[in-house]
Amino acid sequence: MFSWLRSKKLPSIILSLAMLALMTTGVAYSPSLYRWFCSATGYGGSVTVKRSTDGDAYARSDAIGPEITVRFDTNISPSLNWEFKPEVSFIKTHIGLPTTAYFIAKNLSNETIVGRATYNVTPEAAGYYFTKTQCFCFTEEKLKPGETARMPVVFYVDPEMLTDATGKSIRTITLSYTFFRQESDKPAVAAARPLAAASKAEAERLKQTREAEFEPVEVKRSGGADFR
């Protein structure tokens, strides 16, 4: 595919940029390809920083900013016979303070079903500064008949938002999830992650380590994060 470029003996940096442009165009439409690309290149979501989730420690420091309200919105596609809701409809927290929220999903059917969630952050100006641990987004998740999962999400609003002309006045952010039904035949079910068990393990890990990994805001600005 790139033999013509090589034949012209373009500088390697130009070839790399051309490949990057083509790859990033493709990953915008494929979460799986996006994860593979980040892992293979170090671009985007593979770059993370660890932050403490100990709210008391932050309260004793000057690291947190003004109060902010984060509202939660949940949706399911018509073909997915699940119940999906936030444990609370909103949380009041502070800019710069890692905060944990929980979401509940229940399979209302009599069969094991595979689902996959996408998310959206509004207002758009806040998207660059709102980051979270990826617990159940863009991953095939399965629930057994009648099974319930309690899913933790740790989010963080970067204080750099306060220096952004379009973001510094934002005091309410909405985090919206939508779950879609996926192929749920035997191979798909076997390959999917067990949502209830994985969520329970993640909640226990957060309790023990009291830290979570986040994508730096500078990576999000580079185009590596999809918050829309």
CATH code, 179:
2.60.370.10
Whether 226 is in a domain gets the answer: no
Looking at the fold, whether 64 and 175 belong to one and the same domain comes out as yes
Q: What's residue 29's pLDDT?
A: 41
| Tokens, residue 41 | 């290149």
Looking at the fold, whether 64 and 157 belong to one and the same domain comes out as yes
Percentage of the chain beyond pLDDT 90 is: 54
Whether 32 is in a domain gets the answer: yes
Looking at the fold, whether 155 and 71 belong to one and the same domain comes out as yes
Q: Residue 152 to residues 86, 104, 149, 166: CA-CA distances in angstroms?
A: 10, 9, 10, 30
Q: What's residue 53's pLDDT?
A: 61
Which residues 6+ apart lie within 8 Å of 59 measured at CB? none
Average pLDDT over residues 163-189: 96
Nearest to 93 by CA among 119, 132, 120, 125: 132
**Residue 12 belongs to what domain range?**
1-41
Whether 134 is in a domain gets the answer: yes
Q: What's residue 24's pLDDT?
A: 43
Predicted confidence (pLDDT) at residue 150 exceeds the cutoff of 50: yes
Q: Which residue has the higher pLDDT, 215 or 191?
A: 191
Whether 227 is in a domain gets the answer: no
d(CA 223, CA 69): 26
Nearest to 175 by CA among 100, 70, 19: 70
d(CA 163, CA 165): 6
Burial status of residue 64 (CB atoms within 10 A of its CB: 0-12, 13-18, 19 or more):
middle
Q: What's residue 22's pLDDT?
A: 47
Predicted confidence (pLDDT) at residue 42 exceeds the cutoff of 80: no
Whether 188 is in a domain gets the answer: yes
Looking at the fold, whether 180 and 117 belong to one and the same domain comes out as yes
Looking at the fold, whether 166 and 86 belong to one and the same domain comes out as yes
For the whole prediction, is pTM greater than 0.85? no
Q: What's residue 136's pLDDT?
A: 83
Looking at the fold, whether 35 and 57 belong to one and the same domain comes out as no
| Number of structural domains the chain divides into | 2
> pLDDT confidence of 106, banded at 50, 70, 90?
very high
Looking at the fold, whether 70 and 99 belong to one and the same domain comes out as yes
- Out of 37-51, 63-77, 127-141, 155-169, least confident range: 37-51
> pLDDT confidence of 139, banded at 50, 70, 90?
very high
d(CA 31, CA 226): 9
